[in-house]
Amino acid sequence: MTSTTSGSQTGPDREHADRIPAADDTSGPEAEALRDYFRQMTLIRAFELRAAEMYTRAKVGGYCHLNLGEEATCVGLMAALRPTDYLFTTYREHGYALARGAEPGRVMAELFGRTTGLSKGRGGSMHLFDTRLRLLGGYGIVGGQLPPATGAALAISYRTAPGPDSEAVMCLLGDATTNIGAFHEALNLAAVWHLPIVYVIVNNQLGMATPVEAAAGEPDLFKRGCSYRIPGTRVDGGDVLAVRGAARAALEHARGRHRPVLLETVSYRLRGHSVVDPARYRSAEETQRLREKDPLPRFRARLIDDGVLTEEQAARIDAETEQEVIAAVEFADASPPPALEILFDHVYATQTANTPYGLPGDPLPCDQPAPPAPGGR
């Protein structure tokens, strides 16, 4: 499934050459990459199932949104990014952080609210951030990431010329986000300012319980860039190679010409909106149909059929990723909870006089300047 619309004469390449290698090429680098994608998808699956379990055991608080059913999209998109590119994501982002290279233990520790977490326990499930990985945030407000991601692309264009070595920004958003004002303002800015950014609509076909058709005047979401002459492409989000190919082409266009691209991946959310949502709005038949679209067994069978992966290798990957996730939980659980002394760290980056550092019930600091700020520098 690949559909395209081009708002200009210079849309991204629509032909994606990525195919499973022939059976006689099962030991080359591409075959190795495919096995690695399978490993990453398996890891994300195991991580998310464990995260749900930890949520029900009250180890994880707040909201917890899972990438179950989205693993091929996570891995395909991240495979297309360079380490020097910037990534902005949504609140459903554990899988993207893992595929970007975050240690599972540090992601789980963030869910557990520990200082060893990716955001030092201050963000939780929805707000994973890692400067080193240029993962510039999960964002809990729907679409909140769109204007800042656009501005990150502005900073790139401010400093560097278009070309194959230019950095680029990838900004993920959900299908329902295409209905908010910030989506349209961001796309328009990227178009008139000629910015190197790829907006990826991760269409899992439901905004909480609202189907795309009920929410979007143009349910072919990849066409919604037309108003801004931003070329759009739709790919099967369950096909890791199709996703990787489409994302590579989009990024190439973005960095080479400093122009925005809109990419839509279509996948299926296997469970509810968040861990606590039983998804009663879906029938038993629909749930059964979703299972058949599960990208993980599909990819596994395909690799085994093509001789890239053996049953034994697959079973070993299952066992190893399961162990990795168990170790991640152990790491998170063994990490100490934050000391209360660090409460006011990072409220401000530049310390200024009279910044209030009072706890509930403390007297107002009316007498002398507040004590030197704890940390935060």
Partner 1 sequence: MAENITYRQALHDTLRAELLRDENVLLIGEEIGAFEGSYKITAGLLDEFGPRRVRDTPICEEGFTGAAIGAAMLGLRPVVEIMTINFSLLAIDQIINHAAKMHAMFGGQVRVPLVIRTPGGGGQQLAATHSQNLEVFYAHIPGLKVVAPSTPADAKGLLATAVRDDDPVIFLENLALYNTRGEVPDDDHTVPIGTAAVTKPGRDLTIVAYSRAAVIALEVAHRLEEEGISAEVVDLRSLRPLDRPTVCASVRRTHRAVVLEDDWLSYGIGAEIAATIQEGAFDYLDAPVRRVAAAEVPLPYAKPLETAALPNAAALTRVIREVLDATGFTPRPTPGRTRLGDP
Q: Which residue of 23, 155, 208, 315 would you call a contact of partner 1, by CB under 8 A?
A: 155
Residue type, 25: D
- Among the listed ranges 14-22, 30-38, 95-103, 340-348, the one in contact with partner 1 (CB under 8 A) is 340-348
- Told to check if 369 binds partner 1 by CB under 8 A, we report yes
Of residues 176-195, which lie at the interface with partner 1 (CB under 8 A)? 181-182, 185-186, 188-189, 192-193
Q: Closer to partner 1 at the Cβ: 288 or 368?
A: 368
Q: Closer to partner 1 at the Cβ: 159 or 280?
A: 159
- Among the listed ranges 16-24, 36-44, 314-322, 353-361, the one in contact with partner 1 (CB under 8 A) is 353-361
Q: Which residue of 11, 69, 104, 144 would you call a contact of partner 1, by CB under 8 A?
A: 144
The candidate with the shortest Cα–Cα distance to 243, out of 88, 17, 73, 101, is: 73
The C-alpha atoms of residue 221 and residue 13 are separated, in whole angstroms, by 19
Tell me if 355 sits within 8 A of 345, measured CB to CB: no
Q: Closer to partner 1 at the Cβ: 20 or 370?
A: 370
Q: Closer to partner 1 at the Cβ: 158 or 340?
A: 158
Q: Which residue of 11, 123, 231, 232 would you call a contact of partner 1, by CB under 8 A?
A: 123
Q: Residue count at the site for partner 1 (CB under 8 A)?
A: 56
168's tokens:
């680029």
Q: Which residue of 27, 283, 288, 352 would you call a contact of partner 1, by CB under 8 A?
A: 352
The C-alpha atoms of residue 200 and residue 38 are separated, in whole angstroms, by 22
- Told to check if 122 binds partner 1 by CB under 8 A, we report yes
Q: Residue 266 phi/psi, 5° resolution?
A: -110, 120
Q: Where do contacts with partner 1 occur on this chain (CB under 8 A)?
A: 86, 117-123, 127, 129-131, 136-137, 139, 141, 144, 146-156, 158, 181-182, 185-186, 188-189, 192-193, 345-350, 352-356, 363-369, 376
